[in-house]
């Protein structure tokens, strides 16, 4: 999923540190913590690093509950960082296309920033052409979350929590949200979401990591399989038409492995309207039962790294990094060019709140929203 303009978070500015952060072990085995800077209003941002018994590492910030580093081995056992991001807080606060962030209240697009719920119409920020995207101007990706290492039989874990107050970014109700990241002994990054509300409200959470299993260069040579026979076609502003369309005999078909770049040129988009083409589409997963099921498999042939994604969600948004344009300098000074990373956002369909035929994203008092997505890593 793209962002058309990089919107800095005006109410949080970077406080530079004159020394490198010092990692400290927590009371939970495999979890370490360090300071990562402060916001303008004095909120400390912390970095939590999970390390499993095989040496895999996942680093997550309290800012945006975002994955800033994910180190997994190649076929020779060499660890490499496979997600895009920045070395310091300043990079994130200056504005970025949601690198690694937890997205909410509602991931993806809402047409014209409006929806009607229980007879009342709500107006949201227009931050993506004529539409609302990824929770608004200051969604969950720009908030400082509370963090708590937790004991887990599956592996080192950290729970991130945030209360979104009634009216935040135009959404109704106080929403209490938690995201638990676990790095399991089976080399999985497991992400578990939960939310409760005191008033009916739409909720659709996801993680927005940009992956590159090669650790650099572009992602066009990655082999991709998506377990989906249908997708949701969109209009020129990337809002679904409401139809579910077969992927058969089209560049959308990843039911069998295809290189990401193999047919990408066929998706020309509409550059005059701000759509440079490439993949930015929601796939309707074959499972669709709410149970944890296979969704995606990605293989990078040179490194041998493989990532499999399992999810309880009905859809996955595949985005091929079309809007990266070389203006962002990331970790180690690397410039992120077009197609430097891809996203696979497991969630409900775009504009579901305005599409009665799509699975509902309305959460009501007394109910609990849950979502689980697992990224499993291996080599071949």
Could you state, in chain order, the average pLDDT of each consecutive group of 10 residues for the chain (380 residues)? 39 37 73 93 94 96 98 97 97 95 98 98 96 97 97 95 98 98 98 98 98 98 98 92 97 98 91 80 94 98 98 98 96 97 98 97 98 98
d(CA 185, CA 207): 21
Per-residue pLDDT, 192: 98
d(CA 181, CA 52): 12
Per-residue pLDDT, 22: 59
| SS3 assignment, position 276 | coil
Question: Which CATH number, 3.30.1360.10, 3.40.640.10, 2.70.98.10, 3.40.50.2300, labels domain 25-106+130-208?
Answer: 2.70.98.10
CB 45 within 8 A of CB 21: no
Q: What is the CATH number of domain 223-363+373-379?
A: 2.70.98.10
Pairing, β 201-202 against β 362-363: antiparallel
DSSP string, 307-318: EEEEESSSEEEE
Torsional class of 9: left (φ above 0), alpha (ψ -120 to 50), beta (otherwise): beta
| SS3 assignment, position 195 | strand
CB 122 within 8 A of CB 115: yes
d(CA 352, CA 346): 14
For 83-130, write each residue's pLDDT tens digit.
Answer: 999 999 999 999 899 999 999 999 999 999 999 999 999 999 999 999
Q: What is the helix, strand, coil percentage profile of the chain, to 5? A: 5, 40, 55
Which residue, 377, 347, 296, 284, is CA-closest to 83? 377
Per-residue pLDDT, 236: 85
CB 342 within 8 A of CB 212: yes
Counting every residue written for the chain, the total comes to 380
Establish whether domains 25-106+130-208 and 223-363+373-379 are of one fold: yes
For 52, the token pair is 């499993």
Count of beta carbons in the 10 Å neighbourhood of residue 235: 9
| SS3 assignment, position 129 | coil
CB 168 within 8 A of CB 335: no
Per-residue pLDDT, 146: 98
For 303-332, write each residue's pLDDT tens digit.
Answer: 999 999 999 999 999 999 999 999 999 999
Active site members: 208, 345
The ranges assigned to domains in the chain are 25-106+130-208, 223-363+373-379
Query: Is the link from the previous residue into 35 a cis peptide, with omega within 30 of 0?
Result: no
Per-residue pLDDT, 23: 64
CB 206 within 8 A of CB 346: yes
């Amino acid at each position: 999923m793209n962002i058309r303009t990089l919107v800095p978070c005006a109410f949080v500015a970077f406080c530079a540190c004159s020394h490198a952060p010092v990692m400290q072990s927590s009371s939970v085995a495999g979890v370490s913590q360090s300071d990562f800077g402060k916001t303008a209003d004095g909120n400390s941002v912390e970095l939590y690093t999970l390390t499993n018994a095989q040496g895999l590492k996942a680093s997550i910030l309290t800012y945006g509950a975002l994955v800033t580093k994910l180190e997994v081995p190649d076929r020779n056992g060499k660890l490499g960082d496979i997600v895009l991001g920045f070395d310091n807080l300043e990079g994130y606060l200056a504005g970025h296309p949601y690198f690694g962030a937890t997205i909410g209240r509602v991931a993806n697009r809402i047409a014209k920033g409006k929806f009607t719920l229980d007879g009342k119409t709500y107006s949201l920020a227009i931050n993506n052409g004529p539409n609302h995207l990824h929770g608004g101007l200051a969604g969950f990706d720009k908030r400082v979350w509370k963090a708590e290492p937790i004991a887990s039989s599956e592996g080192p874990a950290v729970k991130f929590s945030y209360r979104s107050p009634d009216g935040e970014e135009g959404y109704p109700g106080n929403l209490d949200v938690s995201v638990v990241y676990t790095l399991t002994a089976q080399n999985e990054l497991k992400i578990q979401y939960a939310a409760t509300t005191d008033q009916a409200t739409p909720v659709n959470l996801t993680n927005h990591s940009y992956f590159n299993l090669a650790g650099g260069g572009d992602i066009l040579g990655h082999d991709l399989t998506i377990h989906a026979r249908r997708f949701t076609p969109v209009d020129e502003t990337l809002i679904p038409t409401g139809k579910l369309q077969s992927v058969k005999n089209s560049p959308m078909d990843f039911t069998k492995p295809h290189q990401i770049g193999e047919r990408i040129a066929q998706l020309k988009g509409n550059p005059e309207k701000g759509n440079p083409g490439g993949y930015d589409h929601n796939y309707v997963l074959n499972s669709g039962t709410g149970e944890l099921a296979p969704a995606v498999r990605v293989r990078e042939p040179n490194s041998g790294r493989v990532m499999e994604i399992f999810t309880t969600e009905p859809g996955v948004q595949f985005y091929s990094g079309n809007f990266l344009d070389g203006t962002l300098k990331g970790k180690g000074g690397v410039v992120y060019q077009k197609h430097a990373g891809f996203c696979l956002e497991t969630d409900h369909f775009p504009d579901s709140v305005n599409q009665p035929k799509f699975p509902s994203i309305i959460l009501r008092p007394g109910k609990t929203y849950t979502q689980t997505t697992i990224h499993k890593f291996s080599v071949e």
